[in-house]
């Protein structure tokens, strides 16, 4: 029997480790004496070693998992937006209330804008251009006389916005419609072909600064309001391109019987002798305070002065073409003229005003 018991004992010892069958951790722990265990060299051969290691590893694993869960939970609580929305293209924060007030012209307010002075935008054409003008009318006249002059004039002319000497901004045509601030369907040299084209009105927003350039420069208030308006438009109409802010152009100004080229808007974009006007960088600085897109373009150009020089160069580039332009050339677009409901115009106005909140660069 002795031999048999010894044999069974040896077989038991030789039996491979079976955790299910031998799961007795409490029993093992109760019996465990660490000093005897290490001294007796049990570290590498007893089942207790296996169980201690298993318990330690399970403990470490659980602890790590709990810590990771807690951290993840805190992250979820901290940054819900980061998980729900794609990251913004740049770190920005809008500050403060709108900086611009925009009035509707009495005709837009009353739904009576003459149908000869606007038409529907063509489908699929982006609004990517802003054209700056001067009215050529002395600013001692209120800015409201400008929409009045369009309304009562058989010629087809209008613009989206008029800016008066006190910085008042009037919307005469809502941006959703084409205004005729460069003649109707007018000839304007296509930068690519030099041919007269009729798409400048269709893809642009026209802003009239109300002053007479032969006697006046635009006021500080008008420059500040015009800049904010440009910035708010960039925040609202995402196809607008800073490289397509243009002066109306270089035109032949009849001075007695002598024609001389002048830029429009004179004294805002360029001086009488076609140098950069000191007013223009200030206009762009006001726009950059509202629009991060304009701010980016100014930064890329080395500052608002550099950007102003670029826009001057673009406006000058069309000089020869615009001087030789056939102003009698017209082509009908055939586009419909839908009514301009005052409520819709108000809605567009409100969106632009909301876009006039200044932006600052948030610290990353
Ligand atoms: Zn003009």
Tell me the residue range of the domain where 294 lies: 95-361
Among 54, 80, 106, residue at a domain's last position: 80
Q: Are residues 163 and 293 in the same domain?
A: yes
Q: What is the DSSP string of 155-199?
A: S----SEEE-TTS-EEESS-TTEEE-SSTTT--EE-TTT--EESH
* Domain contains 89: no
* Domain contains 230: yes
The per-residue b/e assignment along 62-98, b for 16 or more CB within 10 angstroms, e otherwise, is eeeeeeeeeeeeeeeeeeeeeeeeeeeeeeeeeeeeb
Cβ(286)–Cβ(223) under 8 Å? yes
Q: Are residues 107 and 27 in the same domain?
A: no
Residue 43's pLDDT is: 54
| 349 CA → ligand 1 middle, Å | 22
In this predicted structure, the answer to whether residue 20 has a pLDDT above a threshold of 60 is no
Q: Are residues 75 and 106 in the same domain?
A: no
* Domain contains 266: yes
* Domain contains 87: no
What does each C-alpha distance from 104 to 83, 101, 136, 168 come to in angstroms? 41, 10, 21, 11
| 198 CA → ligand 1 middle, Å | 15
pLDDT tens for 146-192 read 999 999 888 888 999 999 999 999 999 999 999 998 865 445 566 66
| 288 CA → ligand 1 middle, Å | 24
In this predicted structure, the answer to whether residue 290 has a pLDDT above a threshold of 70 is yes
What is the pLDDT averaged over residues 114-121? Answer: 95
Instruction: Please give the structure tokens belonging to residue 217.
Output: 């420069």
In this predicted structure, the answer to whether residue 95 has a pLDDT above a threshold of 90 is no
* Domain contains 184: yes
What is the pLDDT averaged over residues 71-82? Answer: 53
Q: Are residues 61 and 107 in the same domain?
A: no
In this predicted structure, the answer to whether residue 19 has a pLDDT above a threshold of 60 is no
Among 48, 80, 112, residue at a domain's last position: 80
* Domain contains 45: yes
Residue 37's pLDDT is: 56
CATH code at position 292: 3.40.80.10
| 149 CA → ligand 1 middle, Å | 14
* Domain contains 215: yes
In this predicted structure, the answer to whether residue 247 has a pLDDT above a threshold of 60 is yes
| 172 CA → ligand 1 middle, Å | 15
Q: Are residues 68 and 117 in the same domain?
A: no
Higher confidence at residue 192 or residue 363?
192
| 352 CA → ligand 1 middle, Å | 23
pLDDT tens for 32-47 read 666 665 565 555 556 6
Q: Are residues 149 and 20 in the same domain?
A: no
In this predicted structure, the answer to whether residue 261 has a pLDDT above a threshold of 80 is no
Number of structural domains in the chain: 2
Q: Are residues 63 and 139 in the same domain?
A: no
| 327 CA → ligand 1 middle, Å | 13
Cβ(251)–Cβ(262) under 8 Å? yes
What is the pLDDT averaged over residues 54-73? Answer: 68
In this predicted structure, the answer to whether residue 2 has a pLDDT above a threshold of 50 is no
Among 30, 48, 80, residue at a domain's last position: 80
Please, what is the average pLDDT of the chain?
A: 80
In this predicted structure, the answer to whether residue 294 has a pLDDT above a threshold of 70 is yes
* Domain contains 227: yes
CA 351 to chain CA centroid, nearest Å:
14
Residue 106's pLDDT is: 98
355 CB-side CA count, 13 A: 24
| 264 CA → ligand 1 middle, Å | 6
Query: What pairing do the DSSP bridges indicate for beta strands 204-209 and 161-163?
Result: parallel
What is the pLDDT averaged over residues 61-67? Answer: 69
Higher confidence at residue 327 or residue 363?
327
Q: Are residues 54 and 115 in the same domain?
A: no
Q: Are residues 170 and 40 in the same domain?
A: no
Q: Are residues 124 and 256 in the same domain?
A: yes
In this predicted structure, the answer to whether residue 18 has a pLDDT above a threshold of 70 is no
| 181 CA → ligand 1 middle, Å | 6
Residue 156's pLDDT is: 85
Q: Are residues 99 and 232 in the same domain?
A: yes
Q: Are residues 142 and 249 in the same domain?
A: yes
pLDDT band at 260 (very low <50, low <70, confident <90, very high): low
């Amino acid at each position: 029997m002795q031999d048999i018991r010894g044999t069974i004992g040896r077989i038991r010892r030789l039996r491979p480790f079976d955790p299910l069958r031998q799961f007795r951790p409490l029993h093992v722990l109760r019996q465990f004496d660490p000093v005897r265990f290490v001294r007796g060299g049990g570290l590498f051969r007893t089942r207790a070693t296996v169980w201690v290691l298993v318990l330690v590893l399970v403990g470490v694993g659980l602890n790590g998992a709990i810590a990771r869960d807690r951290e993840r939970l805190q992250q979820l609580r901290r940054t819900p937006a980061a998980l729900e929305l794609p990251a913004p293209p740049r770190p920005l924060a809008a500050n403060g209330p709108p900086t611009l007030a925009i009035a509707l012209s009495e005709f837009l307010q009353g739904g009576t804008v003459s149908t000869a002075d606007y038409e529907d935008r063509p489908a699929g054409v982006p609004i990517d251009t802003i054209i700056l003008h001067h009215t050529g009318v002395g600013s001692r006249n209120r800015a409201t006389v400008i929409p009045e002059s369009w309304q009562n004039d058989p010629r087809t002319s209008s613009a989206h916005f008029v800016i008066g000497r006190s910085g008042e901004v009037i919307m005469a045509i809502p941006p959703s419609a084409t205004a005729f601030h460069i003649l109707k369907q007018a000839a304007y040299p296509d930068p690519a072909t030099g041919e007269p084209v009729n798409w400048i009105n269709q893809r642009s927003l026209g802003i009239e600064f109300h002053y007479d350039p032969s006697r006046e420069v635009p006021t500080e208030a008008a420059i500040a309001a015009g800049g904010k308006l440009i910035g708010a438009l960039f925040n609202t109409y995402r196809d607008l391109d800073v490289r397509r802010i243009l002066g109306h152009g270089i035109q032949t100004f009849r001075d007695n019987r002598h024609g001389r080229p002048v830029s429009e808007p004179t004294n805002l974009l360029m001086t009488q002798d076609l140098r950069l006007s000191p007013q223009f960088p200030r206009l762009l600085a006001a726009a950059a305070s509202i629009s991060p897109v304009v701010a980016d373009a100014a930064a890329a150009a080395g500052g608002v002065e550099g950007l102003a020089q670029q826009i001057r160069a673009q406006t000058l580039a069309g000089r020869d073409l615009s001087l030789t332009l056939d102003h009698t050339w017209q082509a009908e677009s055939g586009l419909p003229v839908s009514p301009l409901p005052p409520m819709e115009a108000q809605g567009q106005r409100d969106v632009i005003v909301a876009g006039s909140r200044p932006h600052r660069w948030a610290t990353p």
